[in-house]
Amino acid sequence: MPPVSELVADPAAERAAAERAKAKKRAVARAAFLRQTLRWHWISAAICLVGMLLFAITGITLNHAGAIMAKPQTVEREGELPADLRPALKAAEAAKGDLPAATRTWLARDMKIKAPAGPVEWSAGEAYVAMPGPGSDAWVTIDTASGAVAYERTERGWIAYLNDLHKGRNTGPAWSWFIDIFAAGCVVFCITGLLLLQLHSRARPSTWPLLGVGLVIPLLLALFLIH
C-alpha cells in the first residue's frame, strides 16, 4: 500500500497543471485567431489591391487636376429621323414621357448614338437628352416636327475618365455597387491589419508610436492648415 502522502493530492501541483492547461488553451485560441485574421487580411488585400491602386493614383491626379493639361475632343453628328417615327415622338412629347423605343433603336443603328430610355427634357417642338458619362459629356436633340437630329459628344481624356470613376460621377449603379463593396473590403483590410499590429506589437515597440503619427499628422493638418 502506498504511503498516505502519495494519496493526498498536492494543491499547488493541481493549480500549476490547471494554469498550464489554461495557458495552452489561450495559446491555441490565439493561434487560431491569428490564422483567421491573416486569412481575412490577405483575402481582402488581394481583392482590393487593384482598386486601391486605382483610387490612390486618381487621388493624386484629382489633387493636381488644375496642373494636368487635357485636350478635349468633340464629335458632332447630324441626321434626320424618318417620317414614320415622328408620330410616336410627338405622342411622347405630348405625354412628357421617354423617347420611344423605335426612336432609340434608329439612333443606335443609323447614328451610333446610345440614347437612354429616359429622362427627356421636352421644350416646344424639341426633345433634349443628356448623356453624360465618366470622362465625357454628350447630348442629342430631336426636332419633333422636322425630325432634325443634332448630336455632340466631348471626351476629356483617360485621366478625366479615371477621375470620374474615383468620384463615381455618371458611372451608373453597377459601379456604385462596386465602390460600396470595395470600401467594405478596405475596412476589413484595415481592421485586420490593426489586429495584426496589436498581436505583434510586443515584439515591435514602434508599432503604436507610428500608428499615433498616422493619426496626429492629418488631425493637425485639418485643425490648423485647412481653411
The residues facing 126 across adjacent strands are 123, 143
Q: How far is CA 165 from CA 84, 157, 168, 175, 224, in A?
A: 40, 13, 5, 8, 31
The answer to whether the beta carbons of residues 131 and 150 sit under 8 Å apart is no
Q: Which residue has the higher pLDDT, 22 or 126?
A: 126
pLDDT the model gives residue 2: 55
Long-range contacts of 107-112 (CB under 8 A, 24+ apart): 107/140, 107/149, 110/79, 111/77, 111/79, 111/149, 111/151, 112/77
Single-letter residue type at 69:
M
pLDDT the model gives residue 1: 52
pLDDT at 3 > cutoff 70 = no
The residues near 93 (Cβ < 8 Å, ≥ 6 apart) are: 122, 125, 127, 144
User: pLDDT tens, 5-26?
Assistant: 555 557 777 787 777 888 888 8
Task: Go through the domains of the chain in sequence order and give each one's CATH number.
Answer: 25-66+164-225 (no CATH), 73-156 (3.30.310)
pLDDT band at 126 (very low <50, low <70, confident <90, very high): very high
User: pLDDT tens, 69-124?
Assistant: 888 999 999 999 999 999 999 999 999 999 999 999 999 999 999 998 778 999 98
Q: What is the mean pLDDT of residues 50-63?
A: 95
Predicted structure pTM score: 0.79
Q: Please state, in angstroms and rounded to a whole number, the distance separating the CA atoms of residues 10 and 61.
A: 72
Show the CA angle centred on residue 206, arms to residues 205 and 210, nearest 5°: 150
Q: Please state, in angstroms and rounded to a whole number, the distance separating the CA atoms of residues 100 and 70.
A: 37
User: pLDDT tens, 191-226?
Assistant: 999 999 998 888 899 999 999 999 999 999 999 988
pLDDT the model gives residue 117: 79
